[in-house]
Chains A and B, each alone.
Chain A
């Protein structure tokens, strides 16, 4: 199972907005809206930021939003803050072989 494709790195200045893409195949996303996004700071466990493409768990800032078009999902962070600097991973359930696949991860640098 190939990983979903994410850019290795993105950067932005405080206050700006950035978007991280996550590209798969039709079998990866399976026509479902089951993409989720995770934030991971160094040495820490991942944290759920977005689920089912667009939903934010309680406690996650509204600066984080998700979307999906075709076989590309996106995570947008608006009003960048220093604390947003972390690695971000997308993942999706793949019905074809009952498995989950992660993106390779994107390192966000806040300049």
Chain B
């Protein structure tokens, strides 16, 4: 059974940093591209970024709203993806989901339950 479990969310002050983790199981993690998607309370889904597999040189891509502040990484030995968030803003407050990419066009077939990040003073 495929499982994605996010952790690391919490309360952080504006300008602060936080690192989220996404622990994967039930599939060959090392061969999969992984994404982060966020959702502010009562709002829609927003794509955050993606990291590809080692075969694809761990290539990353980010939404314009987080580029330069957020960094996605992975540790295939731990079957875990990470989202390092720096220079956090109040508008980064949201639930953060990790999801597995599938297919040539990159759809998201499995999702974690999300972890809440609150940026507030």
Contact = CB atoms under 8 A, between A and B. Distances in A.
B108 A48 contact: yes
Give the dominant DSSP class at B's interface.
strand
B46 interface: yes
B105 A33 contact: yes
Interface string A14-55: 000000000000000000111010101000111110011000
A34 B47 contact: no
A102 B48 CA distance: 11
A74 to B, nearest CB: 17
Interface of A: 1, 3, 32-34, 36, 38, 40, 44-48, 51-52, 57, 87, 89, 91-93, 98-105
- Which residue of A36, A45, A89, A101 has the most chain B CB atoms within 10 A of its CB atom? A45
Given A46-B108, A93-B105, A102 B113 contact: no
Contacts of B11: none
Contacts, number: 69
Given A46-B37, A52-B105, A89-B44, 10 more contacts: A32-B105, A33-B105, A34-B106, A34-B107, A48-B108, A51-B102, A51-B109, A91-B108, A102-B37, A102-B44
B97 A89 contact: no
B45 A46 contact: yes
A14 B109 CA distance: 28
